[in-house]
Structure 1
Amino acid sequence: MAPLDVTLWSDFLCPWCWNASLRLEALEAEFGGAIRIDWKSYLLRPEPRVGGDLERFRAYTRSWERPAADEPLAGFRTWQGDEGPPSHSVPAHVAAKAAAALGRAEGSEYRRRLFRAYFSESRDVSREPTLRALWADAGLAPEAFEKVRDPALEARVRAEHDEALALEASGVPAVRVASSTFVLVGAQPVETYRRWFRRTLDGSAGA
C-alpha cells in the first residue's frame, strides 16, 4: 500500500513550526514507511524588511519560552549577539528546496540545521553567507548551493504558500492528511498527530 501523504506547511521563522517539524519527523520514523511527510513553504514574512529594531526583536524572542517549554528537544534560546533580525522568510525556504533536491536525507539535515541556527544560535537565516555556512555544516556538496539562484525554486516556494492560503490555512504550522481540504492549524501534541494518522490509515485499510 502506498504511504499516507502528510503535508506540513511551515516557516523557518516560526517557533511552533520547529516543534511540529520535530514531532512529524519522529512520527515518520515511528510509522516506518506507512506515512510520508511533504514539507511545504509558508511565508510569515514574504517580502524583505530592512533595518529591523534589534532590541525590539531581542525582546520578542523572549516569547520563545512558551514553545521551549512545550518541546524541550527544540533547544530554544533568546536572541544573543548583534546579528539579525532576518529580513524575510524566502531565502531560507529557497535554500531548503535546493537541499531537498539532493535527496530526502539531505533535505532533512539542512532543514534541521536552519531551524537550530535561528532558534538556538541566533543566526540570521535570511543572509546568503549564513545559508552557505549552514550548507557546509550539513555536509552538502558545495557546488550544489548555487541552485539557490534558480528562480524556479522561489516560484515553487511562493506557490506552496499560495496553496496554503487557498485552503484557508490562517497560520502555521498547518498539517493536511492526503488530499483532504481540512487543514489542522497550530502546533499539536504528538499524540494528536499520532491518533489522526493512525485513524486515517486504519480507515484506508478497511476501505
Structure 2
Amino acid sequence: MVEVEVWSDVACPWCYLGKRRLEKAIEAFDGEARVTWRSFQLDPTILHGEHTPHAEAMAKKFNMPDERVQEIGQRLIDLGAEEGLEYNFDGYIQANTRNAHRVLHMAQEAGLGGPMKDRLLKAQFSDGAIVDDLDVLAGLAEEVGLDGAEVRAMLATDAYDDAVQADIDEAASLGANGVPFFVFDRAFAVSGAQPLEVFETALERAREKAAADA
C-alpha cells in the first residue's frame, strides 16, 4: 500500500488540477494507494466574512493587469477541460478556507475525505460558492454523506482547528511553501500539478522502495 499525503488548499486552482491527475495515476496503478488530504492555506490573513471576486483578488495580490489575470485564468480553463474539470473564474469568490479545512478533517474521519475534497473544490471553482459560509459548508457536507446538523454544530466550536494547524506546520517542516504538494510514503515528493506521468512514476518508485526495504 502506497501512502500518499496531499497538502492543498480549497482556494488553489492548481490543486484541483493536481488532484484529478493524481487520481488518474492511481486508477492506472496496478497496486494499492491510499490518499490523505492535508490542510494548507495560501492566504490565512483573509478575514472570515471577507469576500472578493477572483479578478480583483489576483490584481491586488500580484499587482496584475486585468489582461494577465484573464490569460492565466484561460490557461487553467483549457488545462482543466483536458481533465474534465470546469473552471468558472467569473463566479469565483475568494474567502477564508480555514472552516472548509475543518470540515474536510471531519469528513476524512468518516472515510469521506476524497468526495469532500472534490466537492469543496468544485464548489469553489465551478459553482461560485462562498466556502466560508457555514450553511454552504454544511450543505456541501450533506451532499457527500455527512450529517449537516452535526457539521453546523462542529463549526460552532474550534473542533479540528488544531488538526488543520498541525498540517500547516508539518508542510513547513517538509519545506513545502506552496501547493499542491504530494508526498509518497514519506520517501518521495512531487510539487505542483505535474503531468500524469510524474505521478505514475512516483507511485512506482514508492512501491519499489517499499519492496526493497521489506
TM-score by length of 1: 0.84
Are the aligned partners of 1:77 and 1:121 in contact in 2 as well (CA < 8 Å)? yes
Percent identity between the two aligned chains? 27
Q: How does 1:32-51 map to 2 (within 5 A)?
A: 34-49=32-47, 51=50
Q: Structure 1 40/176 Cα, relative in aligned 2: closer, same or farther at 3 Å? A: same
**Matching of residue 151 in structure 1 with residue 178 in structure 2:** no
Q: Secondary structure at the match of 2:5?
A: strand
- 4+ residue runs of structure 1 moved beyond 6 angstroms? none
Cα offsets for 1:94-144 (capped at 9, x unmatched): 1111111211xx222221111101100111111111111212332422333
Deviates more, 1:112-121 or 1:45-54: 45-54
Cα offsets for 1:8-29 (capped at 9, x unmatched): 1000000000111112223333
Q: How many residues align?
A: 199
1:185 counterpart (167, 191, 204): 191
- What is residue 86 of structure 2 aligned with on the other side? 75
Q: CA deviation at 1:48?
A: 3.3
Are the aligned partners of 1:175 and 1:183 in contact in 2 as well (CA < 8 Å)? yes
Are the aligned partners of 1:136 and 1:142 in contact in 2 as well (CA < 8 Å)? yes
Q: Secondary structure at the match of 2:160?
A: helix
1:16, 1:154 → 2: CA distance?
A: 24
* Counterpart residue type for residue 56 of structure 2: R
* Counterpart residue type for residue 41 of structure 1: S
Are the aligned partners of 1:15 and 1:119 in contact in 2 as well (CA < 8 Å)? yes
2:132, 2:148 → 1: CA distance?
A: 18
Are the aligned partners of 1:61 and 1:79 in contact in 2 as well (CA < 8 Å)? no
1:161, 1:148 → 2: CA distance?
A: 19
2:52, 2:212 → 1: CA distance?
A: 55
1:194, 1:27 → 2: CA distance?
A: 5
TM-score by length of 2: 0.82
- What is residue 119 of structure 1 aligned with on the other side? 125
Q: CA deviation at 1:37?
A: 1.3
Are the aligned partners of 1:24 and 1:37 in contact in 2 as well (CA < 8 Å)? no
1:75, 1:84 → 2: CA distance?
A: 15
Q: How does 1:5-44 map to 2 (within 5 A)?
A: 5-31=3-29, 34-44=32-42
- What is residue 56 of structure 1 aligned with on the other side? 56
* Counterpart residue type for residue 210 of structure 2: S
* Counterpart residue type for residue 36 of structure 2: D
Q: Secondary structure at the match of 2:146?
A: coil
Q: Structure 1 195/45 Cα, relative in aligned 2: closer, same or farther at 3 Å? A: same
Q: CA deviation at 1:33?
A: 5.4
* Counterpart residue type for residue 162 of structure 1: D
Q: Structure 1 85/71 Cα, relative in aligned 2: closer, same or farther at 3 Å? A: closer
